[in-house]
C-alpha cells in the first residue's frame, strides 16, 4: 500500500511538471506570435508613414502631414509616426520642422508627463525620447531628475540634457560634478560624454569650477574632459598650474591637456614639463612624453633617450615615437640606443622608426653631403636590417629614384644578420 502511494505521488509530480512545461511552451508560442503580429503591423505602418512624410518633404509641405500623422498616444500608429520622424532627425533632414511637428502632435507633452512615473524603465525611456526630440523647453522638466538617486536615471538625464544643449542644463550638471562623477562608473562615463557634447561651451564652466573646488579626483576628471575639447587659453592655463600637483592623476591629466592639438608651449611651460619626463609614476612619464612634441629638440632628446629603456613598455614606445618627430637631432640618440644589448628596447625603436617612416629620412641621408650624418644613418639602417626591420630598404630598391642610394641599400641588404 505504501509503495502504491509513492508511485501515485511520483506520477502526479511528473504529470504536473509536464503540464507546467506545456503551459509555459504554449505561453511562449502565443507571446511570440503576438509579438510577430505586432512587429508586422508596426513595419507596415512605418513603411506607409515613411513614404508619406518623405513625399511631403520632397514637395516642401511637411506641415500638411500633421492631420494625417495625428493618432492616439501609445497606439501602433503613434509609435510608427514617432520612429519615422526621429529617423529624419537622425539624418539631419528638416530638423527644425520635424521638431516642431513632434511638439504639435503631442509627443513632447506625452513624454514630459511620463517623467513622474514610478517605473524606472518608463521614466528612462521618456527622458531618452525627450533628448532625441531635442526641444530645449524640456530642459526645465529634466533638471529635477539630476537629483535622482538612481544611476540609470542620472545617466540618461545627462545624455538627454547634452542633446538639448541648453545653458541651464550645462550649468546644472557642472554644479553637481562631484555627485555625477562619483555616483557610478556608468554615470561618470555618461557625464563625461555629455559635457563633451557641449563642445567649447563647456570650457568656461569647467575651468571656473576648479576655482572653488580642489578635490584631486574631480580636478583630474575636469582636466580629462578639457583634453578632448577644442584648444582654449583657459584650459592651457589651468593645466600648467597643475603640473606641480602632488596627485599623479592630476599631473597626468594636466599633461594630457597640454599635449592636445592646437597648443603652443611657452619656454616657461617647457621648464615645468621636462622634469616630469623623470616622474616616479609611469603614466605621468607617458603623458609627459606625449606632450613634448611641441618642445625644442635640444631640450627633449637626451631625456627621451633615457626613456627608451624605461621599465614600462608604453613609455618606451612613446619615447621612440616622440624622437622620430624631433628630426635629425634624434639620429644621435637612435645611433647610441641601437648599440646597446637591450633587444626589446632596440626592437621597439626600430618598430617606431619604420612605422613613422623616419626610415625614409635615414635612407635619403645615404646621399647626404654631411659625412657624419650619412655614416650614422647608414649604421642605423644596418642595425635595423640585422633585427629584420628591412621593409623600408626593400621598398626603396623596388621604387626608389636615386641610383646612388639604391646601390647603398642593396649593399646593406647583402650584409649578414648579426644580433
| pLDDT at site 360 | 92
CA–CA gap between residue 315 and residue 304 (Å, rounded): 10
For residue 337, tell me if it sits in a domain: yes
244 and 340: one domain? no
Q: Is there a contact between 367 and 403 (Cβ–Cβ < 8 Å)?
A: no
345 and 327: one domain? yes
Domain boundary among 276, 295, 314: 295
Q: Return the higher-pLDDT residue of 63 and 127.
A: 127
Q: How confident is the model at residue 394 (pLDDT cuts 50, 70, 90)?
A: very high
309 and 251: one domain? no
CA–CA gap between residue 136 and residue 97 (Å, rounded): 15
259 and 330: one domain? no
Q: Which domain holds residue 234?
A: 198-295
For residue 168, tell me if it sits in a domain: no
35-39, 82-86, 174-178: segment of lowest average pLDDT: 35-39
Asked whether the predicted pLDDT for residue 418 surpasses 50, the reply is no
| pLDDT at site 10 | 77
pLDDT 10s digits, 300-330: 888 888 898 899 989 988 988 888 888 888 8
CA–CA gap between residue 297 and residue 302 (Å, rounded): 9
Overall number of domains in the chain? 2
CB proximity list for 338: less than 8 A, separation 6 or greater:
346, 349, 350, 380, 383, 384
319 and 415: one domain? yes
For residue 220, tell me if it sits in a domain: yes
Q: What share of the chain is helix, strand, coil (3-state, %, to 5)?
A: 80, 0, 20
CB proximity list for 314: less than 8 A, separation 6 or greater:
282, 286
For residue 385, tell me if it sits in a domain: yes
94-108, 149-163, 180-194: segment of lowest average pLDDT: 180-194
Q: What percent of the chain has pLDDT over 90?
A: 28
290 and 308: one domain? no
259-268, 352-361, 396-405: segment of lowest average pLDDT: 259-268
Q: Is there a contact between 304 and 291 (Cβ–Cβ < 8 Å)?
A: no
For residue 17, tell me if it sits in a domain: no
7-11, 134-138, 243-247, 320-324: segment of lowest average pLDDT: 7-11
For residue 416, tell me if it sits in a domain: yes
Q: How confident is the model at residue 294 (pLDDT cuts 50, 70, 90)?
A: low
291 and 380: one domain? no
286 and 332: one domain? no
CA within 13 Å, CB half, 337 = 28
CB proximity list for 140: less than 8 A, separation 6 or greater:
168
392 and 323: one domain? yes
List the one residue out of 300, 286, 229 whose CA is nearest residue 252: 286
168-172, 215-219, 263-267, 400-404: segment of lowest average pLDDT: 263-267
| pLDDT at site 303 | 86
Q: Is there a contact between 287 and 307 (Cβ–Cβ < 8 Å)?
A: no
| pLDDT at site 419 | 42
C-alpha cell at 375: 655614416
| pLDDT at site 179 | 80
pTM score over 0.85? no
Asked whether the predicted pLDDT for residue 331 surpasses 60, the reply is yes
Q: Is there a contact between 109 and 139 (Cβ–Cβ < 8 Å)?
A: no
136-145, 152-161, 319-328, 383-392: segment of lowest average pLDDT: 319-328
For the chain, the average pLDDT equals: 84
Classify residue 57 by its DSSP letter.
H
| pLDDT at site 152 | 87
309 and 406: one domain? yes
Q: What is the dihedral of CA 366, 372, 378, 382, to 10 degrees?
A: 180
For residue 226, tell me if it sits in a domain: yes
Range 335-339 average pLDDT: 89
pLDDT 10s digits, 239-282: 999 999 999 999 999 999 998 876 777 777 788 888 999 999 99
For residue 82, tell me if it sits in a domain: no
CA–CA gap between residue 278 and residue 168 (Å, rounded): 43
Q: What is the dihedral of CA 8, 13, 15, 20, to 10 degrees?
A: 160
Amino acid at each position: 500500500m505504501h509503495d502504491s502511494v509513492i508511485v501515485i505521488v511520483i506520477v502526479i509530480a511528473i504529470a504536473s511538471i509536464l503540464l507546467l512545461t506545456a503551459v509555459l511552451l504554449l505561453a511562449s508560442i502565443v507571446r511570440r506570435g503576438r509579438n510577430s503580429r505586432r512587429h508586422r503591423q508596426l513595419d507596415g505602418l512605418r513603411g506607409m508613414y515613411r513614404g508619406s512624410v518623405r513625399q511631403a518633404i520632397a514637395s516642401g509641405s511637411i506641415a500638411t502631414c500633421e492631420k494625417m500623422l495625428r493618432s492616439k498616444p501609445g497606439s501602433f500608429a503613434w509609435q510608427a509616426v514617432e520612429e519615422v520622424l526621429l529617423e529624419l532627425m537622425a539624418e539631419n533632414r528638416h530638423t527644425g520642422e520635424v521638431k516642431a511637428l513632434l511638439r504639435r502632435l503631442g509627443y513632447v507633452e506625452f513624454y514630459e508627463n511620463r517623467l513622474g512615473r514610478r517605473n524606472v524603465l518608463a521614466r528612462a525611456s521618456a527622458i531618452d525620447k525627450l533628448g532625441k526630440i531635442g526641444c530645449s523647453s524640456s530642459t526645465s522638466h529634466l533638471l529635477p531628475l539630476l537629483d535622482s538617486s538612481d544611476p540609470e536615471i542620472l545617466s540618461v538625464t545627462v545624455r538627454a540634457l547634452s542633446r538639448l544643449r541648453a545653458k541651464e542644463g550645462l550649468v546644472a550638471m557642472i554644479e553637481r560634478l562631484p555627485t555625477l562623477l562619483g555616483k557610478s562608473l556608468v554615470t561618470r562615463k555618461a557625464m563625461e560624454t555629455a559635457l563633451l557634447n557641449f563642445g567649447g561651451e563647456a570650457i568656461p564652466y569647467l575651468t571656473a569650477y576648479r576655482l572653488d573646488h580642489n578635490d584631486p579626483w574631480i580636478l583630474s576628471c575636469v582636466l580629462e574632459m578639457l583634453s578632448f575639447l577644442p584648444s582654449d587659453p583657459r584650459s592651457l592655463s589651468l593645466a600648467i598650474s597643475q603640473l606641480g600637483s602632488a596627485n599623479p592623476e592630476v599631473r597626468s591629466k594636466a599633461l594630457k591637456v597640454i599635449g592636445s592639438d592646437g597648443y603652443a608651449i611657452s619656454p616657461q611651460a617647457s621648464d615645468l614639463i621636462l622634469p616630469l619626463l623623470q616622474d616616479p609614476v609611469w603614466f605621468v612619464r607617458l603623458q609627459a612624453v606625449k606632450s613634448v612634441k611641441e618642445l625644442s629638440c635640444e631640450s627633449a632628446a637626451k631625456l627621451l633617450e633615457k626613456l627608451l629603456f624605461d621599465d614600462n613598455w608604453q613609455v618606451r614606445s612613446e619615447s621612440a615615437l616622440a624622437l622620430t618627430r624631433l628630426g635629425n637631432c634624434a639620429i644621435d640618440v637612435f645611433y647610441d640606443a641601437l648599440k646597446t644589448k637591450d633587444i626589446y628596447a632596440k626592437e621597439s625603436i626600430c618598430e617606431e622608426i619604420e612605422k613613422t617612416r623616419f626610415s625614409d629620412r635615414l635612407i635619403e641621408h645615404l646621399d647626404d653631403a654631411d659625412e657624419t650624418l650619412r655614416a650614422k644613418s647608414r649604421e642605423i639602417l644596418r642595425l635595423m636590417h640585422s633585427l629584420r626591420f628591412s621593409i623600408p630598404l626593400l621598398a626603396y630598391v623596388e621604387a626608389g629614384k636615386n641610383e646612388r642610394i639604391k646601390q647603398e641599400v642593396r649593399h646593406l641588404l647583402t650584409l649578414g644578420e648579426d644580433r
